[in-house]
Amino acid sequence: MAEDPYRYFRLEAREILDQFGAAVLELEKHGNVGQVQLLLRLAHTLKGAARVVRQPEIADSAHAIEDALAPFREGVDAVPRGSVDAVLRQLDAITGRVLLLDSPSQPERARPDQLSRRPGVEEPIRTVRAEIAEMDALLDGVAETHVLLNGLRATLRSVEQARHLADLVAEQLTPRSAAERPRQSGAAAEKTYGLADDLRRSVGGIERRLGSTVDQIDRELRQLRDAAERLRLVGAGTLFTVLERTARDTARALSKEIVFEASGGDIRLDADILATVQGALVQIVRNAVAHGIESASVRRASGKPPIGRITLDIARRDNRIVFSCRDDGGGVNLDEVRRAALRRGLTAEAVHRFGAQDVINLLLRGGISTSDAVTEIAGRGIGLDVVREAGERLGGTVRVATEAGKGTNFDLVVPVSLVSLEALLVEAAATVAAVPLDMVCGTMLLGADMVSRGAAGATVLYEERAIPFLWLPRVLDGQHLPPGRKWPTIIVAAAAGTAAIGVDRLLGIARTVVHPLPELAPAGPIVAGASLDAEGNPQLVLSAEGLIAEARRQDLAEPEPEPTRHPVLVIDDSLTTRMLEQSILESAGYDVDVAVSAEEALEIARLKRYALFLVDVEMPGMDGFAFVERVRTDPDLHDIPSVLVTSRAGPEDRRRGRDVGASGYIAKGEFDQAELLAMIRPLIG
């Protein structure tokens, strides 16, 4: 607290200022219907908090707000416009001082112009930016914790192997008949059996408890990451108070009357996107009031209501967010813009060729103003170029439509960047991907016989019509359509049409946060972005438009045959080791035979062709080194790779293994299931 005495005060003050700004505008629009009581409570809370952190200027401004509103506490008299203006001036002063508390310099040394900043214009979404650093730190902490959890999972796999070995030991020690009983006293034998059974139970209990704890921690970390990702996003509604205040102040300065309305505030976006968009929308709103909305007398003469209307609608379309701002003013005066262009030095011939869209583009480039005089609001030829630059900076577009006498509509279309959405998680080619749920209109279970091929490519029948079909594993990993089984298929719909997308599995629905892909990591058209799982690993977020386009382009090749199960011969005199290795290899899809000695292995290898030998070194009779040496000189077996598995891990042993022709060497003390499979997979090919 000593390093940053204003840490909590800043957050509280900004929250109060946000409520304050919205309540004052509500008071001005709808009158004193409980708003004064709310404003007095907010002012009193802010005043007390400011005094606690020794900010007398903020406390005095809050006290001045109380003085301005106190006479209207009972709600009998309407609050005059002058009092509302006085309250807004004090709010601007408080906002400026709160902003200065972000820096270590003392606020009392601030310049006067810094104290009069209006909230949200020069310092957009500052309240959220202060919290984002903490959210990022939290997300980093979650990712690091998940890395540690993965280490714990490796330990769990070791415990699983230990439990498996304990089961095998207990099974071997349990007598199957009287003849198999060891030559020792009955009491000693029973004690040995009891110890083995206790070991099995103990290791099994550790495995269950550890596995349950790891799964629970994993679930909690995933939920924590999801919550932190959502908190990192900002509701678009945070723009509304700033934009309404901009419209109100601009209209007051020009003696005009306007109503500002907004919708779509529940859409949540990355704060950096909103910060850039906010600057552009402020310019659009100012331009709408200054150049679009007519004076009350002109509006009456043209049959319009005397009060102008500005609306802002925010909507999500596939992987884009559209900010649509419309006014019901007189529209862009194209002839006046052409005259302004002539004054700026353009030739009459060039200006004469300008169509409506050319004139709009000229305004968006900047440098053209139709105002007769330079004021704080207009006349410098800047404003709409800010809108264009914002669109370019975000990789978006700006569309302008205007109609004389009816108004102008600005559409600022930007990429989603970081946005929260509901998604259907699917698995294809061992890749987990998310498809925006609002683009999914159904699911099906298909087989290869239900897919038709023709000149237009692969299609399936959906709701009595043929739609394009795409086998997603082929796009992601080149895998062919599998024969002999059915697979889930999702139906996606967008403006481009409808398509069926075949996948390996449906994993469920989840709320995910979409991140933009880095510029140095370009992706195909089917990818709209990426999300992060609880471990911080990226997952693809697919574009419905891209999937539909790819489905129309793709055709299906003939299905490839089922993969063969490669035979492997395990050679070890230890029953425990043989069974453990056999279990691992069979689980990985190999056909496994076993031999208890090198001599037996040579006999078996002449009866069946194997893809690999997995050989112990220390065995009675012929050891592993001699076996590999024999195989290398045998004309029928010399091309079969051999991997040595032994407790002898010295450099001279490894060197001898290479000398006799072994293709791999694994020390039992360093035995790892994943390492074993990774070593033998390329050897078998």
DSSP 443-462: EEEE-GGG-EEETTEEEEEE
Let me know if residue 304 belongs to a domain.
yes
Q: Please, what is the end-to-end C-alpha distance for the chain in angstroms?
A: 62
Whether the CA torsion 381, 384, 385, 390 is positive or negative: it is positive
Tokens 């799982």 — which residue?
Answer: 533
Q: Are residues 243 and 312 in the same domain?
A: yes
Q: Which of 640, 615, 635 is nearest to 627 (CA)?
A: 615
Let me know if residue 101 belongs to a domain.
yes
Which pair of structure tokens corresponds to residue 634?
């045998």
Pairing label, strands 440-446, 487-494? antiparallel
Cβ–Cβ under 8 Å, residues 409 and 493: no
pLDDT for 491 equals: 93
Position 272, amino acid: D
Q: Which of 581, 647, 171, 586 is nearest to 595 (CA)?
A: 581
Q: Rounded to an integer, what distance in angstroms lies between the CA atom of residue 683 and that of residue 673? A: 16
CATH number of the domain to which 17 belongs: 1.20.120.160
Residues of the chain with pLDDT below 50 are 1-2, 104-130, 372-382, 557-561
Q: Are residues 217 and 274 in the same domain?
A: no
Which pair of structure tokens corresponds to residue 515?
């991140």
Let me know if residue 126 belongs to a domain.
no
CB-count exposure of residue 563 (10 Å: 0-12, 13-18, 19+): exposed
Helix, strand or coil, per DSSP, at residue 181: coil
**Who contacts 681 (Cβ-Cβ below 8 Å, separation ≥6)?**
none
Let me know if residue 621 belongs to a domain.
yes
Let me know if residue 113 belongs to a domain.
yes
Q: Phi and psi for 636 in degrees, rounded to 5? A: -90, -20
Q: Are residues 331 and 397 in the same domain?
A: yes
Let me know if residue 18 belongs to a domain.
yes
Q: Around Cβ 472, how many Cβ atoms within 10 Å?
A: 27
Helix axes 81-100, 7-30, angle to 10 degrees: 160
Provide the residue range defining the domain that includes 644: 567-684
pLDDT for 118 equals: 45
Q: Are residues 167 and 98 in the same domain?
A: no
pLDDT for 380 equals: 33
Q: Are residues 399 and 445 in the same domain?
A: no
DSSP per-residue letters across 345-397 = T--HHHHHT--HHHHHHHHHHS-----SS--SSSSSS-SHHHHHHHHHHTT-E
Q: Are residues 528 and 674 in the same domain?
A: no
Q: Which of 257, 319, 293 is nearest to 531 (CA)?
A: 319
Q: Are residues 542 and 594 in the same domain?
A: no
Q: Around Cβ 513, how many Cβ atoms within 10 Å?
A: 24
Q: Around Cβ 288, how many Cβ atoms within 10 Å?
A: 29
| CA 58 remoteness from chain centre | 39
Helix, strand or coil, per DSSP, at residue 122: coil
Q: Are residues 584 and 669 in the same domain?
A: yes
Which pair of structure tokens corresponds to residue 91?
């709010």
Q: Are residues 509 and 464 in the same domain?
A: yes
Cβ–Cβ under 8 Å, residues 288 and 248: no
Half-sphere exposure of 196 toward its Cβ, with a 13 Å CA cutoff? 18
Strand partners, 419: 269, 514
- Look at the chain and count its residues: 685
Q: Rounded to an integer, what distance in angstroms lies between the CA atom of residue 371 and that of residue 380? A: 8
Query: Given 553, 588, 620, which residue is the final one in a domain?
Result: 553
CATH number of the domain to which 663 belongs: 3.40.50.2300
pLDDT for 557 equals: 47
**Who contacts 435 (Cβ-Cβ below 8 Å, separation ≥6)?**
423, 424, 426, 490, 492, 501, 541, 542, 544, 547
Strand partners, 468: 459
pLDDT for 312 equals: 94
Which pair of structure tokens corresponds to residue 155?
């330990």
Half-sphere exposure of 665 toward its Cβ, with a 13 Å CA cutoff? 20
Q: Rounded to an integer, what distance in angstroms lies between the CA atom of residue 406 and that of residue 38? A: 39
Let me know if residue 559 belongs to a domain.
no
Q: Which of 502, 504, 499, 503 is nearest to 456 (CA)?
A: 499
Q: Rounded to an integer, what distance in angstroms lies between the CA atom of residue 48 and that of residue 46? A: 5
Specify the number of domains making up the chain: 5
Q: Are residues 440 and 293 in the same domain?
A: no
Q: Are residues 582 and 494 in the same domain?
A: no
Strand partners, 547: none
Reported as a single tens digit per residue, the pLDDT across 170-180 is 776 666 555 55
Instruction: Return the DSSP state at 515.
Output: B
Q: Phi and psi for 311 in degrees, rounded to 5? A: -120, 145
Q: What is the dihedral of CA 101, 104, 109, 113, to 10 degrees?
A: -50
Q: Rounded to an integer, what distance in angstroms lies between the CA atom of residue 565 and that of residue 591? A: 6
Q: Are residues 435 and 505 in the same domain?
A: yes
Cβ–Cβ under 8 Å, residues 423 and 528: no
Query: Given 415, 433, 448, which residue is the final one in a domain?
Result: 415
Query: Given 415, 446, 463, which residue is the final one in a domain?
Result: 415
Let me know if residue 24 belongs to a domain.
yes
Determine what percent of the chain is predicted with pLDDT higher than 70.
76
